[in-house]
Amino acid sequence: MKSLLVTGGCGFIGSHFIRRYLANHPDCRLQNLDKLTYSGNLQNTQDFKDHKNYQFAEGDVCDSKKVESVVSKADAIVHFAAETHVDRSIESAGDFIATNVEGTRVLLDAARKHQIKRFLHISTDEVYGSVPEGSVTEDAPLKPNSPYAASKAAADLLIRSYRETYGYPIMIARSTNNYGPYQYPEKVIPLFITNLLENKKMPLYSRGENRRDWIFVEDNVRALELILERGEEGRIYNVGGGNDTANIDLARLIARLMGSDEKSIQNVADRPGHDLRYSVDWSRVRALGFQPQTSLEDGLHKTIEWYRSHPAWWQPLKKDKFTLK
């Protein structure tokens, strides 16, 4: 492809994807459309902002005119732009519905109009809801339990309807929990790390029995690049990390790596509708050639060292009840 549009490329995963794609595809022109909401940060793009093939466009995916202007120049689209924090969605779901559902609809209509042939939508394993045992395939029913997960499931179903109604070729990636550098400190791993750096405790929901499969962000964007290039049109791809871990064990590991102990863990009231466990079968993306390269301990070590050495990036971001726990 000659021109790629990335939405939400100033966010955590989107900026990592752009960094990798520019390095691996020196002849591809890449546009980044981002609204620069609270978690969209231009500092995440500083190392590639002057790349000869990179162009930033500030704008909202719900703005049809702006979307039309960038889509008309693209051959392919990777759609990251979304509101993503479960706790914020519980308090106020409106922005999640607007961006995650209506924004996807606006982008789909523009992509159809301009006959974009490769369209990768970035979803989440949270659309499946809690998985008590085993692992779910891409054909499992969607059972979202938070407003965030419901908004992403709605976008996935809208995409399915465009495929069935219009025959529009689109792919969906449903990744497990990402972590790594540049992640906004409302999310559990950067929240725990930055709290310890500030000599504060790590707030752990309930008894920490909830389980997640963690994937280092650089591994995830490798999988997404593979899906974009080799994925079959119309298919869904789960992306896993092979690091199924209870939250209490995650907290203990972070504490150990940072020279602390269990006294740094503070149990707090659980959030409403908290899914106990996520687990996806990711054999489909493995068949494309994907295999995670980073263990949880190694990835956490890299992440801790990044936050330790970049206080100027994260300290100004800790300013509300979601980051000051």
List, for residues 187-231, the tens digit of each pLDDT value.
Answer: 999 999 999 999 999 999 999 999 999 999 999 999 999 999 999
Q: Provide the pLDDT confidence category of residue 1 given band limits of 50, 70 and 90.
A: confident
Annotated active-site residue 232? The verdict is no
Residue 247 tokens, joined: 């939250």
**Does 174 have pLDDT greater than 90?**
yes
Catalytic one among 34, 83, 126, 186? Answer: 126
Catalytic one among 34, 60, 125, 186? Answer: 125
Tell me the CA distances in angstroms from 264 to 44, 106, 254, 261, 298, one per residue in order.
29, 45, 10, 6, 21
**Does 143 have pLDDT greater than 90?**
yes
Q: Provide the pLDDT confidence category of residue 257 given band limits of 50, 70 and 90.
A: very high
pLDDT tens sequence across 51-62: 999 999 999 999
Q: Supply the pLDDT for residue 304.
A: 98
Contacts of 289-293 with C-beta under 8 Å, sequence gap 24+, read 289/226, 289/230, 290/222, 290/223, 290/226, 290/239, 292/215, 292/216, 292/219, 292/240, 292/241, 292/242, 293/219, 293/222
For the chain, the average pLDDT equals 97
Residue 63 tokens, joined: 């703005």
Mean pLDDT, range 291-306, rounded to an integer = 98
pLDDT tens sequence across 32-48: 999 999 999 999 999 99
Annotated active-site residue 126? The verdict is yes
Q: Whole-model pTM?
A: 0.97
Residue 113 tokens, joined: 């109009």
Distance, CA of 90 to CA of 84 (rounded, Å): 11
DSSP state of 39: T
Residue 10 tokens, joined: 């100033």
Distance, CA of 39 to CA of 26 (rounded, Å): 28
Catalytic one among 21, 128, 148, 182? Answer: 148
Q: Provide the pLDDT confidence category of residue 272 given band limits of 50, 70 and 90.
A: very high
Annotated active-site residue 233? The verdict is no
- In Å, the largest CA–CA distance within the chain is 57
% pLDDT > 90, the chain: 99
* Whether the Cβ atoms of residue 44 and residue 13 lie closer than 8 Å to each other: no
**Does 184 have pLDDT greater than 90?**
yes
Q: Supply the pLDDT for residue 320.
A: 93
Mean pLDDT, range 126-151, rounded to an integer = 97
Mean pLDDT, range 135-139, rounded to an integer = 98
